[in-house]
Amino acid sequence: MSEEESRSNVLKVAANGPLVCAGALQVSGRDGAVIQQGESFALCRCGASNNKPFCDGSHREAGFEDDGVWSDDKPVDDVAQGAVNFKLAANGPLLIEGPLVVQGADGEVRFAGERGALCRCGASTTKPWCDGSHKSAGFVA
Ligand code: FES
């Protein structure tokens, strides 16, 4: 296995900003069609980007505030190797499909696993995770 293949996929939650991802990454639509593949990109979590699902810097103008640090509420498991896909739920979260390590803005690993739903509307009270608030927020994407 090459060094590249043995590298974990890492998502860092930026304070007041996006989900900064590195590794073997893919984003797909709800129908499974691939939207983008790459080794690094920043996914919007404030809901304001004009280039969803990617961050375009609009979080600053929107005044998005979240410190990117949360209490440990998900198990930290051994994480497998391989690519991770972020599947876009219609008008809803980013669904993790594949191995991913999630770090807070302080660098602490708070999640390692293969399934989860990340907020991308900015309204969740359990950021970075989805709590269903996109429905009451009227998030459209
Ligand atoms: S997090 Fe940057 S535009 Fe939403």
23: domain range?
Answer: 10-137
Whether 45 is in a domain gets the answer yes
User: How far does the centroid of ligand 1 lie from the alpha carbon of residue 63, in Å?
Assistant: 10
Among 11, 41, 54, 58, which is best to mutate for testing ligand 1, by the most ligand atoms less than 8 A from CB?
A: 58
Phi, psi of 103 (to 5 degrees): -110, 145
Whether 2 is in a domain gets the answer no
* Domain count of the fold of the chain: 1
The one-letter amino acid code at 132 reads: G
Whether 73 is in a domain gets the answer yes
What share of residues in the chain are helix, strand, coil (percent, to 5)? Answer: 5, 35, 55
CA distance 115 to 72: 16
Among 44, 50, 60, 139, which is best to mutate for testing ligand 1, by the most ligand atoms less than 8 A from CB?
A: 44
Whether 59 is in a domain gets the answer yes
Ligand 1 atom nearest residue 58's Cα? 3
Whether 3 is in a domain gets the answer no
pLDDT values of the chain reduced to their tens digit, one per residue, 141 residues: 334 445 799 999 999 999 999 999 999 998 999 999 999 999 999 999 999 999 999 999 999 999 999 986 666 777 888 999 999 999 999 999 999 999 999 999 999 999 999 999 999 999 999 999 999 999 999
Whether 61 is in a domain gets the answer yes
CATH number at residue 55: 3.40.5.90
Whether 5 is in a domain gets the answer no
User: How far does the centroid of ligand 1 lie from the alpha carbon of residue 48, in Å?
Assistant: 6
Whether 34 is in a domain gets the answer yes
Q: Which two structure tokens, joined as six digits, stand for 19?
A: 């989900």
Could you tell me the pTM of the whole model?
0.91
